A and B are shown apart, each in its own frame.
Chain A
Amino acid sequence: NAGVMQNPRHLVRRRGQEARLRCSPMKGHSHVYWYRQLPEEGLKFMVYLQKENIIDESGMPKERFSAEFPKEGPSILRIQQVVRGDSAAYFCASSELPMGTNEKLFFGSGTQLSVL
């Protein structure tokens, strides 16, 4: 079991370009969470998805950001028309079941997005 895989590990984009971040959850996990860590700040929740459904996107900026978790393939976090303030580490985590009192989260290694 390869664990949660995120790619790319580092992504450099110029202002105005699109960034696509991928997250493959652990085998058998159908719950995916995206978090953002801005420089010198703590982690912040962005979105929670189950297969083909967005369950909670209360942490997503209203514009330019979108997420999906299709039936086949990885979860994608998409940022359109990136700005310098989007530069951050983006982490994905997965779980087999919804987070309950006994459910452990497994994190990916993150994607470091740098916007020039």
Chain B
Amino acid sequence: KNEVEQSPQNLTAQEGEFITINCSYSVGISALHWLQQHPGGGIVSLFMLSSGKKKHGRLIATINIQEKHSSLHITASHPRDSAVYICAVRGLQGAQKLVFGQGTRLTINP
């Protein structure tokens, strides 16, 4: 079993739909990252969370440390949101390496 599991692996939705991508992890962490990988391969850091909730535009990320679970939500989805979304966790005690989930491939159809 991977330390970081994402669901679903693939998600196709219509423009305007509310999107939820889930991430569960099995180790103690100091922070969780959500990343976006564009079809061309480039990676952008969307959020870094250690507790609670963060919002940026149409994107919302939440984390529940007790349940070892995080969600990434996209409101009013748009075809330009089509990408692979990756969850990554950083361990405790000053750990610098990230452990990544397999990614969720999101396709938003017009």
Show the binding face of A for B, using Cβ within 8 Å: 33, 35, 41-45, 48, 55-56, 58-59, 89, 91, 93, 98-99, 101-107, 109-110, 112
Size of the chain B interface, CB-CB below 8 angstroms: 24
B23-56 near A? 1/0 per residue, CB < 8 Å: 0000000110101000011111100101000000
Please tell me if the beta carbons of A101 and B96 are within 8 angstroms of each other in the complex. Answer: no
Interface residue from A43, A45, A59, A106 paired with B45 (Cβ < 8 Å) = A106
Q: Find the A residue at minimum CB distance from B6.
A: A42
Please tell me if the beta carbons of B97 and A105 are within 8 angstroms of each other in the complex. Answer: no
Count of A-B contacts judged by CB separation below 8 Å: 60
Q: Which residues of B have CB within 8 Å of A43?
A: 86, 88, 98, 100
Q: Which residues of A have CB within 8 Å of B48?
A: 101-105
Top 4 closest pairs, chain A to chain B, by CB = A107-B43, A45-B97, A43-B100, A42-B102
In the complex, what distance in Å separates the CA atom of A62 from the CA atom of B52?
A: 39
Expressed in whole angstroms, the minimum distance between the Cβ of A8 and any Cβ of chain B is 13
Known: A99-B31, A105-B33. A58 touches B41 (CB 8 A): no
Q: Find the A residue at minimum CB distance from B84.
A: A42
Q: Is the interface of B mostly helix, strand, loop or mixed?
A: strand
Q: Which residues of B have CB within 8 Å of A102?
A: 48
Show the binding face of B for A, using Cβ within 8 Å: 30-31, 33, 35, 40-45, 48, 50, 86, 88, 90, 94, 96-103
Please tell me if the beta carbons of A55 and B96 are within 8 angstroms of each other in the complex. Answer: yes
Expressed in whole angstroms, the minimum distance between the Cβ of B36 and any Cβ of chain A is 10
Please tell me if the beta carbons of A107 and B42 are within 8 angstroms of each other in the complex. Answer: yes
Please, could you name 11 A-B residue pairs with CB atoms under 8 Å apart, sorted by A?
Answer: A33-B96, A35-B98, A42-B86, A42-B100, A45-B100, A59-B97, A101-B30, A103-B48, A104-B48, A109-B40, A109-B42
Q: Which residues of B have CB within 8 Å of A55?
A: 96
Interface residue from B41, B88, B97 paired with A112 (Cβ < 8 Å) = B41
Which of B30, B94, B97 has the most CB atoms of chain A within a 10 A radius of its CB? B97
